[in-house]
Amino acid sequence: MNTKVPNIDYNEAIKNSGLFKKLGFVLFAIIVYRLGTYVPVPGINSAVLEQIFSQHQNGILGIFDMFSGGALMRMSVFTLGVMPYISASIIMTLMQSSFDSLKALKEQGTNGRKKIQQYTRYLTILLALFQSYGISNGILNLSDTVDPTLGSVAFFQLSAIITMTSGTIFLMWLGEQITEHGFGSGISIIIFAGIVANLPFAIFNTFELGRTGALSAIAIIFIIFLLLALIVIIVFIERGQRRLLVQYPKRQVGNKVFGGQSSYLPIKVNVAGVIPAIFASSLLLFPNTIANFSPESSGFLSSIGFYLSHGKPLYMIFFFGLIVFFAFFYTGIVFNPKEQADNLRNNGGFVLGYRPGEQTAQHLEHVIYRLTFVGAVYLALIALIPEFLIAKLSVPFYLGGTSLLIVVVVAMDFFSQIQTHLFTSQYEKILSKNKMYKSKWL
């Protein structure tokens, strides 16, 4: 009697898994997003705005333009990008650890998370309205950036606020659709697409510096190998985990024995992700940006902006310190040792060698403290090494450490989601084949 299950064709498994449909939807969403970055806000003189923007691209405008995929420089309908949503998500995360009502919603499961997500959307709209008003007001203060034939100043400002806020709402919806019908986090995919879209210009500018003699061939080769080495380091650290052995005791019900199994509690080396680098960059570039927009050529703001500009020793010191601070701060919010210890105890598990409860929480706190220190130093070094290149070799801003981190981490998560999807679909196919053959021979 032959009970061997036939081999499943891998190519057929890919077709049946709906992989191409999901990838097609992600690609379509990215194309829609990129087309929207070229649709300008009504009444904007794009040529004058681009010329003014080039004078301030090394400030906080450069970071916002990086996350918006160049939409800020073109003053498009997607000028704000997904930054209001990211800010709202961070604020809601902070509030969940401060307010008991939000903490209770989080513990309710799926329904609670849906309510928190809804609050995040409302907060996103409020932040988008506030930021679009500030940007439109700043544009009005720049000479010759608004078309005088559009009408009154109030009409331009109202249309700009409505357009940019609607663009953010659309991107928020588009990101949720990518998450539901595609792979990975939709918001991260949108940020990834914006950064990657501008990388060819950065690479072209780097080789242009080599052609004109501003950069030597050796320096360009060194930059390429350094970036490759940084990518390898990012992949290695982001994949790194500390696995704590968790034991579940045996229990007997009648004549059957349950439990007695062991598993692992994985803790990432870098729990905070790229959030500390983004926060530190934004905070440090505020003085420089304000100084550049200030009408006074000298004074306190100009001095602060000079010493906190790219490549200055004070900037490097503060950048390193802020990344380490935000790494510990954000990790403390997203990882609660006491909560993890209580969950293990409620499920009947315990970390081998430690009593459930307070002793386990202290051990987890000790482990997460050491891992966060390693992760914070890693983030700071990854972010600072490209800063030296920008300062010493005039490498384009888009090759910064923060953008490199985002690109690599999102790409890793995207391909991991694809691999998981294929494995799950193939596993379900094998199970169905097994059931079919078992029922046939029984």
CA trace torsion 311, 316, 319, 323 (10° rounding): 120
| Nearest one of 395, 400, 375 to 385, comparing CA atoms | 400
- Terminal C-alpha separation, the chain: 11
**Nearest-10 crossing angle of helices 275-293, 60-67:** 130
For domain 10-195, give the CATH number.
1.10.3370.10
pTM (global) more than 0.85: no
* pLDDT number for residue 174: 93
Sign of the dihedral through C-alpha 220, 222, 223, 224 = positive
| Nearest one of 174, 165, 194 to 64, comparing CA atoms | 194
Q: Which phi-psi region, left, alpha or beta, contains residue 356 (left: φ > 0; alpha: ψ -120 to 50)? A: beta
* pLDDT number for residue 81: 85
* Inter-residue contact 144 to 48 (CB < 8 Å): yes
b or e along 126-153 (b: 16 or more beta carbons within 10 Å of the residue's beta carbon)? ebbbebbbebbeebeeeeebbeeeeeee
Parse the chain into domains and list their residue ranges: 10-195, 240-393
Q: Which phi-psi region, left, alpha or beta, contains residue 376 (left: φ > 0; alpha: ψ -120 to 50)? A: alpha
* pLDDT number for residue 2: 43
Tokens 């919806």 belong to which residue? 173
Distance CA 326, CA 157 (A): 36
Give, for all 442 residues of the chain, the pLDDT tens digit. Answer: 444 444 445 565 566 667 788 888 999 999 999 998 888 888 776 666 666 666 555 555 666 666 677 777 778 888 888 888 888 887 887 787 777 777 777 777 778 778 888 888 999 999 889 888 877 777 776 655 555 555 567 777 888 889 999 999 999 999 989 988 888 788 888 888 888 887 777 777 778 877 887 777 887 888 888 888 888 998 899 888 888 888 777 665 556 655 567 778 888 888 888 888 877 876 776 666 565 555 554 556 666 666 666 667 788 888 889 899 888 988 887 888 888 888 888 877 788 778 888 888 888 888 999 999 999 999 988 888 877 776 666 665 555 677 888 888 888 888 888 877 777 776 666 656 555 545 554 5
Pairing mode, strands 262-268 and 350-351: unpaired
* pLDDT number for residue 1: 41
* pLDDT number for residue 242: 87
Cα angle for residues 231, 232, 237 (degrees, 5° grid): 100
